[in-house]
Amino acid sequence: MVLVESLVLCSSISGLTLAATETTSWPPYAPTDAAIFQLSSDSQFAFYLEETIGLANWGGANTAEVLRIATQIIPHDFESVYEAYYYMAEEVYAIAESIDPQRDPVSAREAYYHASTYYRGADFFLHGNQSDPRLISLWTQQLTAFNKANALLDIPGERFTVKAHSETVGDYEAIGIFYAAYPDKRRGPTPTILVGRGYDSSQEEGYHSQCRQILSRGINCVTYEGPGQPTVRRQQNIGFVADWWSAATPVVDYLTTRPDVDMSKLALAGMSFGGILAPVAASHDHRFSAVIAIEGFYSAQQAFEEQFPVEIVQLFNTSNVTAFDTAMTGIVANSTYPSNFRWIVGYGLWAFDTLSPFDWFTRLGNITMSPRVVQNLPMPVFVGKGQDDVGTEQEPEIAYEMLVTGRPNGKALTYYHHFNTSLGAGEHCSLGAESQLWQAIMGWLSGVWDGWTYANI
Residues 166-201: b if buried by 16+ CB within 10 A, e if exposed: bebbeebbbbbbbbbbbeeeeeeebbbbbbbbbbbb
pLDDT in tens, 398-452: 999 999 999 999 999 999 999 999 999 999 999 999 999 999 999 999 999 999 9
CA dihedral 319, 307, 244, 275 (to 10 degrees): -160
Closest-CA residue to 256 (of 285, 228, 290, 281):
285
Do residues 157 and 150 make contact, with C-beta atoms less than 8 angstroms apart? Answer: yes
pLDDT in tens, 360-403: 999 999 999 999 999 999 999 999 999 988 777 788 999 999 99
Residue 135 has pLDDT above 80, yes or no: yes
Residue 39 has pLDDT above 80, yes or no: yes
Mean pLDDT throughout 134-139? 98
Rounded to whole angstroms, the Cα distance separating 280 from 93 reads 39
Do residues 177 and 203 make contact, with C-beta atoms less than 8 angstroms apart? Answer: yes
Residue 11 has pLDDT above 50, yes or no: no
The helix, strand and coil proportions of the chain, stated in percent and rounded to the nearest 5, come to 50, 15, 35
Instruction: Return the beta strands (E) in 296-411 as ranges.
Output: 381-386
Rounded to whole angstroms, the Cα distance separating 15 from 378 reads 48
Closest-CA residue to 233 (of 327, 155, 347):
347
Rounded to whole angstroms, the Cα distance separating 276 from 198 reads 9
Residue 8 has pLDDT above 50, yes or no: no
pLDDT in tens, 158-193: 999 999 999 999 999 999 999 999 998 667 899 999
Confidence tier at 223 by pLDDT (50, 70, 90) = very high
Residue 1's pLDDT is: 46
Do residues 271 and 195 make contact, with C-beta atoms less than 8 angstroms apart? Answer: yes
Please give the domain boundaries of the chain with CATH numbers for all domains.
40-153 (1.20.1440), 156-299+367-457 (3.40.50.1820)
